[in-house]
Every structure is written in structure tokens, then in C-alpha cells.
Amino acid sequence: MLCPLISKKEVQKESKQARDTDTETHIKTPTCMDNFFRKLAKLVLGEKHESKKTIIVKGKVVLMKKSLLDFNDLGASVLDRAHEFFGQHISIQFISATQAEAGSSDKRLKGKLGEPAILEDWNSTVTPLTAEESTYEVTFNWGEEMGLPGAFIVKNLHHSQFYLMTLTLDDVPGYGQVHFVCNSWVYPAENYKNNRIFFTNKAYLPSETPELLRPYREDELEILRGNGTRMLEEWDRVYDYALYNDLGDPDDKKNVRPVIGGSSEYPYPRRGRTGRRPTKSGMFRFHYESELYKFTCESEICEFHCESEIWEFHSESEICEFHYPKTESRLLLIESYKIYVPRDERFGHLKRSDFLGYGLEAILKFLLPEFKSLTDQTLDEFDNFEDFMKLYKGGIKLAEGHALNDILKDVPLQTFKELLRSDGEGLSRYSIPKVIEADPLAWNTDEEFAREMIAGLNPVVIKLLKEFPPTSNLDEKVYGNQKSSIRSHHIEEHLDGLDVQEVIKANRLFILDHHDSLMPYVRRLNETSSKIYATRTILLLEKDGTLKPIAIELSLPHPDGDHLGAISKVCTPAKDGVEATVWRLAKAYVAVCDSGVHQLISHWLNTHACIEPFIIATNRHLSVLHPIHKLLHPHFRDTMNINASARVVLINAGGILERTFFTGPYSIEICSKIYKNWVFPNQALPKDLILRGMAIEDSSSRHGLRLLIEDYPYAVDGLEIWSAIKTWVEDYCKFYYKDDNMVLKDTELQSWWKEVREEGHGDLKDEPWWPTMSSIQDLVDNCTIIIWVSSALHAAVNFGQYPYAGYPPNRPTLTRRLIPEPTTNDYKELKDDPQKVFLKTVTPQLQSLLSVSLIEILSRHTSDEIYLGQRECPEWTMDAEPLKAFEKFGEKLKEIEERVVKMNEDQRLKNRYGPAKVPYTLLLPSSEEGLTGRGIPNSVSI
């Protein structure tokens, strides 16, 4: 035997060590001969001459292997095993936070690198069929000079990527257990130019970071920022900014859309950059002698300069195919999964499976009724209200019994578990929306119509009416007189014997105003298949605390030009005859306007779009070691992924939103115009309520505000959640920042906030309202707003979609004709068949089914949802005080939930329940999986 002092097992293990020539990650495994000479030296020179004492430290690595939905990718598994067999392992190498490396290639002081060790027993560890956690042991030869490990390098020499969850060292000499929370995909080493480094879950401000870890911290941020070039690949970890220039297609005349963002005309928040090629926009023949064009050619790639714009050419002889650099090429729908999002921002395997399952189910529900409708006389219409109810009663039934149960046992995919329900529910059957579950007719009452403005899916628009008649802020030079046509005589009979000024003074008149935001687009929208009005709705606060609509104004631009002002019709409540039909239609026009504003502004713009720049800036400038990164990171989960998907199928030209909402091809353009008025500090709930006149400051009231509508469910519950978030953020931030000077001197924090303003929301960078980042209070206020918007605000405007809009007559998304004039033939229908008039006016069948299918997906909680007050990993920080503060936050949320449940049972609070008997649960913190109409996820995750 060549080396009698070393076991055969050790020799086999050492022979499999991965090799690398890189200076920092070089895996120098002691060979049998190395150990032989070391032990020989001990015998000759004595034990005292052994330079370093080495002990064994055991660790455990938890990871998930690459999966295809819920199934392991068997091909990848086989290849990984082959790589393992031939000595290409997964290795881990620690970086000391307390002991310096002898020398560094870039002359920076860095932590000492420990000896690499490999994950043991990869091939012998049985991995479950479904994507689940696997645990591997790893053994380190720990030199006492290593000290405290502050980070580690992981090198993946396998064929496939894996999801690294945690690494725990059991007993580090002098320090005990050390835990690393990773939660990141690690691709094969060949995909990276730099090492994959993971840091301990101890939080450090930049100035307090151990000196030996600082270079690694700085280098990691540089990697995440990227260099702004080339198309990004799935393994890239780059966070960068781009305009919304991938929604339209200049090659298709029907789908030409302006670039949104980057201009004063179309300002917008930035989205994540993908680096895809620009679009083609035509073919032309170029001539070398032309004086109008200047270009330089290298091989077949040319740059064409014309009026400061750069065009890229791909030439074949004299015919050039050119690309417009301002517009990014689109992906086909079938390729939507390929859109670049940093890998760690993508859906986890459970959510991806759920999302696909819900999508397939929605497609079935959408298509099957369409096939049935082929026999209908009116193919594009619901013939009557009973047709709507069939959506919730019909469907293809699955046979119950042993056969179905046997199938379900063998189907691990959450996708098919959702489609093949064990209760035999029909595949094309929609769940009954809450708004019609208890009473199918209550949605049509004036009381429920008004209640949903403060307790429905868009309770963030209604405001106090401070002057009568309502006024307009539109430029009179452009739009003429846009003041309201509503006068005292329209509403006095509903004011309990008071005159208008008395009611105004008593703070009893409110308005849902969709006039100014839509009027500039009404003329263009009415040239499409949509026919809408700009609306104003006046409501009276009754003595019992409920709201009653008392007038609706329907406005159109003057037929002879916008500058001539508005032509308006004022509708008032009526019980019988044509007037009752007109009033019902007026409420439908209001609901349509509110549906569009809700989806485009309250939901998409104010939560999804406006949060994305904060996510990008956080990853570019706040290290994972930074306490504010640890605070905010859970509130960014899945947002970039869902936003990227939205750009491909929802908000893009010809996408679902344009097809189902009245805003059509002008959807994102309208959104851009309204973004001009977005103000970050006003997203704070207390500030928002005060600005809308829904509350006034009152130090004697709970949370320092007195609500003018005491039973305003969104505000009552929202203020409780807001206060809990703010207290948690304050406790957390004050642990790390002892004075304002620490905030000012935090280089990462200041760079982060500067880039949020100047890049992420760069079109508004010069606005005076931007808060500073110069004190602990600034930090607390700004972080509270970010968390509120990402969690509670999004929950309030998202998860009520199906409960209220799942029944299309309650929340139609478009109208197809205006109210008939008395002299027309259609006017006679108002008398003879009011139901038919209503159904011919609101969203047709095709768009209704598509809309309901969409919002059913968007209103669901997936099986891996993480809610406010929860964390993905209980050991997300090593700092004890923040952990205690977070526990206190969770307990506070439980108390709030109990209080809300009791309020929903209080019959005196009529707005919490309403005629439709739908309790207000949208701001209950917890939820189960599925369509629950409750629960506050940590992030904008759907």
C-alpha cells in the first residue's frame, strides 16, 4: 500500500475534488502523497513543528435540484450524476471574516479562504420525485486560523442548476453554530464570470462591515448592476432599467404604441431591462450616393445615423433590413416564459405550477362556454341574466369514485390536482362570486353600488366634495369649460330638507370623479368599438353611516371640438319607467369607468409598476448584508416576474387588458398621463385619506385621524395595518441606526435613494415633493410606504377582483353604445325591454368570459404564498432584537385580524356587510390557498 496511514475511502474522496485554475477559487485538495509527506514530517521533526492545527467541522446544505414544474428533470439528474462520478462536484469554500488572506491579486485586504469541501453522497442520496428539499452533508478541514466564516464561495461543476436554500455549520470553533440563508439559484460555474458568493445572515451597515468582507460585498453589487450591454440570459443576475418600449410592435400597424417612459409626454416608472434586440420596422433600398444618409459598415452590420437616431442594419446586397432602436422586439406568447427576469426573482416551483394550473383551468372555462354559444341566436351576447348564472352552475362533471381517486394519487403536479378536482366540480364552472352568493339581485341596488366605493375592489378614489358644483382642473384653453352641469335642483330632494351648502358644510357630500382623467380620451375612445362617458357621481352620507348615490353626470366632448367644452347629461335615481332604465345604465357607465381606472391606475400603476424601480435599485445598491435590504426583500418577492408576464400578455398591444377594457389601445398611454400626478409621499395611507378629504388630523382619535365616514372599512382596517407596519419598521431601523448621522453616512443607502429618484422614477426626478433620506424618521417613513404599497394596498385592490367583478353585470369593463336619444328607434327599447338594452350596452360575452377567466387567476392565492408577518426562513437574521420586533409585529397582526372579524359581525356597521352580504375581509392579514377574498401577501406577487 502506497499510503498506509490514509483509508481507501479518503483516497477515493480526494480523487474526486474539482479542479480550477482561478486564483481565488482554486480547489487544492490534499493528495495521498501530500498527506504522506506531512505525516512523515511529523515523525521526523516532531508534532510541535506541525504549522497549523486542523479539526473537522460538519455542515449541512439544504437545496432543491432543478425541476420541470413539480417533476425532476430526469435528463439533468442523470447528467449531474455522471459529472459527479467523474469528479466534477459541487464545492464550498469559506471566506474568513476575521483572518486575512496572505496576498490578493488586486491588492485589497480580503478574508482568508478555507479549504474547499464537496457535497457528500450526491449520487447515493435519494431525491423525491416531486421538487422537494434535499439535505447533503459537507465536511470541512477547519484550520484554527480560519476564525469566523463570514461568507462562502460555491462552485457548481455539475450540468444543471440547483436552488441553494441554507448552509448550517454545527460547531465552528469559538463561535458555535453558524447559519447562512441563501435562497438563490446556482448555475454551472461555466455560466459565471465571477464566483457565486453567499454571506452570513448577520446584517451590517457598510461602515460596520468586517474589513475582510468589504471587497466581496462591493464586488457582488458590481455584478448585480451589470454593464448595461448585451441581451441578458436566464443565469444572469443583472438588475438594470429600461423603458416600457416592449408593449407595441411597429411592424404591425394595429399594434403600434408609443414608447412609455423617458419623455415629458409619456412619463413612466422604469421596468427591468432584458436587452432583447430592437424591432424590425420595414425594408428599404439604400443608395451609396445619397446625401441624406450617412452610414458606416462593418461586414453586414451597419449603423445608420439620421437626426441623432441610430438604426441597425442587416444588409444583403443593396436591400437593408433595419431595426428601430427605441422599440424592443416582442416575444411570441408561447415564448413568454423566456422573458428575462433575474433568476432569483422568478416564481418558485410551486407557484409556477399553480399559476400554470390556474391558467389552463381558466382557458377551459373560457373556451367551453364559447363552444356552447355557437347555438345561441345572439353569438356575442348574453341573452339574459340567467346566462350569467350558468357560468357558475354548469361545467363538465367528472365521475366520482375510485377511478378518479386513483388518478389523483398518481398525479403529483399541482396543475392537474387543480384541474381534476376530487369533488367532481366541472372544469368549465366558475366559482360563485361573493357579490351574488347570498343574494343574486343585491348588486343592482343603489346601496350596494355606493358601498363598493368604500368597501369594494377600488375603495381608493372616492373623496369629499368640498365645492358645488364640482370643478375641473383640465386646461380651459384646450378643453373649454369642463365644470359640472349638476345643479342644486338635481339633488335637493335627496338632502333631508337641507340645502346644498348646509350639506357641504356638514361634510356629507362625496364624489367619485372620473371626469378629468378620462375626458381627454373620450373622443378617441368613442371612435373605437367602445362608447363611454366621462363620469361624476355625487353621493350623500346618510344618517346611518351609509352612502346613497344622488346624481350621475355623463359627459362627452363637444362635437365641434374639445375647446368648446363638455356636453353633459345629468341622471338622478328613479324607480320606474324609462328613467329607471337610464339610471341603471348611468350606474353601468360609472362602473365601467371605475373598472378601467381601478385596473390601470389603482392596481397596475400604483402598485405593480411603481414598486418595480425600488426592487431594481435595492438589488443594485443595497447589499444582502444591508439591514434595509433584509427589511424590504420579502416585499419584492415575485413582483418582477409577474410584471414581466404582464408585459407579454396583459398590458401589451393587443393584450388581454386592451381587449377587455374600454381603454383599448390607449390603456398604457392613459396610465402614463396619470403617472404625471403620482407623488410618492402621498402613497402613505394617512396622507392619502387626508388629501381625499376622507379624514382630518385629530390627536384625540385613534392613529391621529378622524374619519369623516366612520364606517369606511378600507380606511378603518387599513389604518390598523399601516400603524402595525410603521411600528415594526421603526423598531427595526432604530436597532441599526442610533442617530441621523448614521443615515447620512450610509453610502449604500444614499446611493439607493438617489437612484430610485433619478433612474427608477427618473421622469419625476425634479419634482420638489421627493422626500430626503437624511434622518431615521425619513428612513422609517419611506420604508413604511414601500411595504404598505407592496403588501396591504395591493391586497386591497387585487384580491377583491373576483368576489365583485367575477359577476360581469356588477363590474362591466366596457360599454358599446351611448344612451339612446328620445327621437331614435333604440329609445323605444328602453321602455319595452330594459334588460336587453342593458346587456347590449355592457361588456359582450367574449370579453366577459376572458375578463372573468383572467381575474379568477389574479384573485387567487397560490400554495406557496407568504403573508404579512411571515418570513420564508425563521432564521432570516442573526440579530435577536429585530427577531423579537418581528414577532411582536406578527402578534399585532393577529390582534388586528380578530378585531376585524368582530367588526364584520357588528350589524350596526352596515358598510362592512352591505345588501350583498359580503363582509369586508380584504385586509385580513392571513388566508388559505385559493379564492378567499382575504389575506395580505408580503409582496405584489400576482
Catalytic residues: 603, 608, 794, 798, 942
Which three cell numbers, joined as nine digits, stand for 283? 425594408
How many residues are there in the chain? 942
Q: Is 827 exposed, middle or buried (0-12, 13-18, 19+ CB in 10 A)?
A: middle
Q: What's 226-243 look like in SS3? A: CCCCCCCCCCCCCCCEEC
Residues whose CB is less than 8 angstroms from the CB of residue 42 and which lie 6 or more positions away in sequence, other chains included = 49, 50
On whether the CB atoms of residues 421 and 428 are closer than 8 A, the answer is: no
The C-alpha atoms of residue 525 and residue 556 are separated, in whole angstroms, by 11
Residues whose CB is less than 8 angstroms from the CB of residue 828 and which lie 6 or more positions away in sequence, other chains included = none
The C-alpha atoms of residue 874 and residue 147 are separated, in whole angstroms, by 26
Residues whose CB is less than 8 angstroms from the CB of residue 468 and which lie 6 or more positions away in sequence, other chains included = 486, 488, 500, 501, 504, 509
Picking from 441, 464, 439, the residue whose alpha carbon sits closest to that of residue 454 is 464
Which three cell numbers, joined as nine digits, stand for 234? 436566464
Residues whose CB is less than 8 angstroms from the CB of residue 583 and which lie 6 or more positions away in sequence, other chains included = 552, 571, 572, 573, 574
Q: What is the DSSP string of 328-362?
A: EPPPPGGGGGGS---GGGSPPHHHHHHHHHHHHHH
Cα–Cα distance list, 336 to 641, 643, 648 (Å): 11, 12, 6
On whether the CB atoms of residues 833 and 827 are closer than 8 A, the answer is: no
Spell 265-294 as b/e; 16+ CB within 10 A means b: ebbbbbbbbbbbebbbbeeeebeeeeeeee
Q: Which residue has the cell 382642473?
A: 473
Q: Which residue has the cell 449541512?
A: 60
Which three cell numbers, joined as nine digits, stand for 225? 448592476
The C-alpha atoms of residue 596 and residue 600 are separated, in whole angstroms, by 6
Beta strands in 670-806 (DSSP E): 695-697, 705-707
Residues whose CB is less than 8 angstroms from the CB of residue 745 and which lie 6 or more positions away in sequence, other chains included = 207
Which residues sit opposite 226 in a β-bridge?
none
Q: Tell me which long-range contacts 547-550 makes (C-beta under 8 A, separation of at least 24).
A: 547/450, 547/451, 547/453, 547/454, 547/510, 547/709, 547/911, 548/446, 548/447, 548/450, 548/494, 549/446, 549/449, 549/450, 549/573, 549/587, 550/490, 550/491, 550/494, 550/495
Residue type, 516: D
Which three cell numbers, joined as nine digits, stand for 485? 352641469
Neighbours of 49 (CB within 10 A): 9
SS3 654: coil
Neighbours of 606 (CB within 10 A): 21
Neighbours of 881 (CB within 10 A): 13
On whether the CB atoms of residues 152 and 198 are closer than 8 A, the answer is: yes
The C-alpha atoms of residue 632 and residue 791 are separated, in whole angstroms, by 11
Q: Which residue has the cell 449603423?
A: 303
SS3 303: strand
